Structure 1
Amino acid sequence: MSKKLNMYMNGDWVESSSNETFDIINPATQEVIAIAPKATKEETEEAIKAAKRTFESGVWSYLPPQERARVLLQIAEKMEEHLNELAELEVQNNGKTKREAESDAQEAINSFRYYAGLLNMPDGQTYEYSDDMQTLIVKEPIGTAGLIVPWNFPLLMSVWKIAPALAAGNSIILKPAEITPITAVKLFELIDETDLPKGAANLLLGSGSVVGQTIAESEDVDIVSFTGSTGVGRHIMTAATGNMKKVSLELGGKSPNIIFDDADLETAVDYALYGIFLGAGQVCSSGSRILVQEGIYDKFVERYVERAKAIKVGPGNDEKAEMGAIVSRKHLESILEYVKIGIEEGANLALGGSQIKWGELEKGFFLEPTIFIDVTNCMRIVREEIFGPVVTVQKFKDEDDAIKDANDTDFGLAGAVFSNDQNKALRVIKRVRAGITWVNAYHLTNVQAPWGGYKQSGIGRSLGTYGLDEYQETKQINMNLAPKPLHWFEEG
């Protein structure tokens, strides 16, 4: 029987007055696993006002940092107790493998603990303007934060926004992706069991065109943080200009993975697989463009295709599955359209390219690991974000050639270099125009490091101290330690 989901507003679980609902599908089976309400514009505005009232009341925003840290740790403890359940819900709703879902849940818990710890660290600056003047630089919460998260990491991306936003003292409204709200609902059930003041955290379910648009336009929202496609990010940025609210955007990517002749071949192949087929390629930072130096190009392609053929595709609850389902039928069709485009453009399809329609996978949205070789930078499959288990492999001659091809993109989220020459690797990675980079690795990162991109991959940074800064205002306080008349304007 499908579970009925509700929304969380001002400390209460509520239904939507619209009576409109939508089915939540398990992408591995096409089974309806939940029914979610669609919030109205009026309900969204009500949640925003509740968040604003709570912020202005000071019940959360004025709490000492140590008290806010205590509540964040409560949330982390609740999540730890329900880690397996959170991971299982993520598998069912998103289609990712159990190993990925468990890792995401643990990282989400770590994020709450990290920001709780950060609140107990010294902060601020002081300056001496003169003998009698002292300047203090302090950080304060922005106010009401609208948080809009994507479907590829439903739980982790929610926490990447919630943890620093609450840590800073803001009140929040979270809008999960329409098709993957289940772990967000469970998270708020756990939050409801903690000492977080009612109204400080609100959860709305529904469409981006109604809920997301209302959040972006609202003059009662002081910051909107969005992770998703570059096209939607542009729209949110435009909608947010009404009250000049702060905008934080983590958008698309088409990230280069540069492999030199002198790289360890097995290491490069292994990380190149992980770089694109993790999460079935539905990862913004995926290494979807592999650039290989011509001396090892053929050897790399041969070994890469051989390894990719062996990837075990299956439902997330299969312990042996290494790559799970595509999140929805609509997205699967979009990826398959790009496969068709690649073939029409003249790229050589070295592996895959088809939906898996046999055996136990017939009922779900599964796609073969797909590799295009002999591509050029002018092809759409090289330039546009496909957001699936589809990778292109192209050849380069030397360092300058690699850097030129790597930076020939509208995006700048991530990138990597593989070489046993550390000087060359550092020289090249410093010239790659991207915000998240690796040398002889891919995808490995942690909550302490800032996350975000250059160019059309977004504005601002998540995670680390930078992530906390996104949800804070910086204030200058000037203290006159010996007040007396200034006599700038003389009497008479």
Structure 2
Amino acid sequence: MLIGGEWVEAAGGETFETIDPFKGEAWARLPRGRADDAERAVAAARAAMAGPWGRMSASERGLLMFRLADLIARDAEHLARVEVRDNGKLINEMRAQVRYLPQYFRYFGGLADKIEGAVLPIDKADTFNYTSHEPLGVCVAITAWNSPLLLAVNKLAPGLAAGNTFVLKPSEFTSASSLELGRLFEEAGFPPGVFNVVTGFGVEVGAPLVDHPHVAKVAFTGSEGGGQAINEKAARGLKHVTLELGGKSANIVFADADLDNAVKGAVSGIFAATGQTCVAGSRLLVQNSIYDAFVDRLVAFASTARIGDPQSETTQVGPVTTPPQYRKILDYIDIAKAEGAVCRLGGRPATGAECGRGQFVEPTIFTEVDNRMRIAQEEVFGPVLSCIRFEDDDEAVAIANDSLYGLAAGIWTRDLRRAIALPRRLQVGIVWVNMYRAVSYMSPFGGYKRSGLGRENGMDAVREYLQTKSVWVSTAAETPDPFSIR
């Protein structure tokens, strides 16, 4: 693990294995951190805040981030291959993600010395008042297993620009790439302790990090249950939190849409990344007048998806990353069938020779789904699509908003009025119109309701890592009545 600029074993000497989801075998051994390691990492991050990093100018911090961006760009292929080995997502997807990460550090590195306070025209005579924005301090980032580096950088880039230090606890299923990132932090010249990586399990090392009295903020991406537990723990210490949680996003297709593009958008929304993404368009709402024809077209297109080795350039659907998630997806397929949904495609494990010894689920499409069914209300996090009918705009909005979640939505239409009016009515943090599953370091990312708290990306993300100070300076020659508030 990387703690205080040194590569160390877990204090207790324990290790655990990480599994290649395609080959079904262990490929790396990692330190199994516990409370002692959490303590060491927080102490190192705290020392860095009080040391060289805390004394560094904002412009100097930005230059280090630019240097890190160049190193990530240099090693992008290696980092992408490590991610694929660890989480089983497609090489084309991981390569595109990692090659995009330098832009995060360049964008936020450029913002580092543009965080400005203000001079206020205060209503008190003989008084000068100004504000400044300062870092929170030691931040803990806890990431999910589906896109480890992207999820980490979503937190690190704005947080470092704001002047904070970090302890990163990646998912125990996918920790290898985070350790590789730590080596690049070292090479870029970040002071020891600015970025620390501890590996292990949530209860054993994640919980002590969240509980630590010297941690100012916890930024988490993961399940709703995990986010709720972290929020409750953080609240006891009055810590800042950013929670990027689950979704049950509605991808809405109107009769006037470009149907070829809408089919591609539906496939992108649910079968890309094997459906293992928080923004998955897992509820496909299709206007009743085109429902049957559209579903036929969708099933025909989705049935051509190529399943196989995620390291292959031609594979389109890879394995499920973890054994528990694989079992969960299959359980939900059984639940959908029991509820009366009609399985038009897939609905089974994929077991052909192209699947190796990995855990694959066939791309699955259910029709005649009612929005009250569990398959339409609960997050599956896999390649399972629920197709739901609607009549008009009002019913589409009502169905889309009838969810505990509110992360994202898609709208497919040629109607300009609808394209502008409907996003205002949808209770979600992200709306795509005639596109799906696009992200940018410049645009805020986050959800409503049970999809989380706070925002990542864009200027909104920097604000999540700052606190505001108000400074009052008297210019009066004589202090007025000390027994009365000024």
Q: Same fold (TM over 0.5)?
A: yes
Encode CA deviations 1:226-270: one digit per residue, 9 max, x unaligned. 000011111011111232011111111000111111111111111
- State the alpha-carbon separation in 2 of the partners of residues 53 and 276 from structure 1: 44
Q: Cα–Cα, structure 1 residues 306 and 481, in superposed 2: closer, same or farther, change >3 Å?
A: farther
Contact 2:341/2:369, CA 8 A, preserved across alignment = yes
- State the alpha-carbon separation in 1 of the partners of residues 225 and 364 from structure 2: 25
- Residues 1:51 and 2:45 are matched in the alignment: yes
Pick from 9, 24, 34: which aligns with 1:40? 34
Pick from 427, 433, 436: which aligns with 1:439? 433
Deviation at residue 116 of structure 1 after TM alignment: 0.5
Pick from 396, 404, 423: which aligns with 2:417? 423
- Residues 1:180 and 2:174 are matched in the alignment: yes
Pick from 452, 456, 475: which aligns with 1:458? 452
- Residues 1:113 and 2:82 are matched in the alignment: no
- State the alpha-carbon separation in 1 of the partners of residues 135 and 381 from structure 2: 34
Encode CA deviations 1:7-60: one digit per residue, 9 max, x unaligned. 011110001132322211111111311011110111111211221122123x11
Pick from 84, 93, 110: which aligns with 2:77? 84
Map 1:165-176 → 2, pairs under 5 A = 165-176=159-170
Contact 2:270/2:282, CA 8 A, preserved across alignment = yes
> Match of 2:231?
237
Q: Normalising by structure 1, what TM-score?
A: 0.96
- State the alpha-carbon separation in 2 of the partners of residues 198 and 135 from structure 1: 36
Map 1:195-210 → 2, pairs under 5 A = 195-210=189-204
Deviation at residue 486 of structure 1 after TM alignment: 2.5
SS of the counterpart of 2:180?
Answer: helix
Pick from 9, 12, 30: which aligns with 2:6? 12
Q: Cα–Cα, structure 1 residues 18 and 122, in superposed 2: closer, same or farther, change >3 Å?
A: closer
Residue type matched to 1:104 in 2?
Q
Contact 2:11/2:36, CA 8 A, preserved across alignment = no
Encode CA deviations 1:78-99: one digit per residue, 9 max, x unaligned. 1111111011111111111111
Deviation at residue 488 of structure 1 after TM alignment: 5.8
> Match of 1:212?
206
SS of the counterpart of 1:222?
Answer: strand
> Match of 1:98?
91
* Structure 2: 5+ residue stretches without partners: none
> Match of 1:274?
268
- State the alpha-carbon separation in 2 of the partners of residues 483 and 380 from structure 1: 71
SS of the counterpart of 1:179?
Answer: coil
Map 1:299-318 → 2, pairs under 5 A = 299-318=293-312
- Residues 1:144 and 2:138 are matched in the alignment: yes
Deviation at residue 487 of structure 1 after TM alignment: 3.6
Contact 2:115/2:133, CA 8 A, preserved across alignment = no
Pick from 334, 339, 343: which aligns with 1:345? 339
Contact 2:365/2:384, CA 8 A, preserved across alignment = yes
What RMSD over aligned residues (CA atoms) do the two structures have, in Å? 1.4
Encode CA deviations 1:344-391: one digit per residue, 9 max, x unaligned. 110000101111111131411122111111000111110000001111
Deviation at residue 316 of structure 1 after TM alignment: 1.5
Contact 1:124/1:137, CA 8 A, preserved across alignment = yes
Deviation at residue 480 of structure 1 after TM alignment: 3.0
Deviation at residue 482 of structure 1 after TM alignment: 4.5
% same residue = 38
Encode CA deviations 1:289-310: one digit per residue, 9 max, x unaligned. 0101101101110111011001
Deviation at residue 134 of structure 1 after TM alignment: 3.2
> Match of 1:371?
365
Contact 2:22/2:309, CA 8 A, preserved across alignment = yes
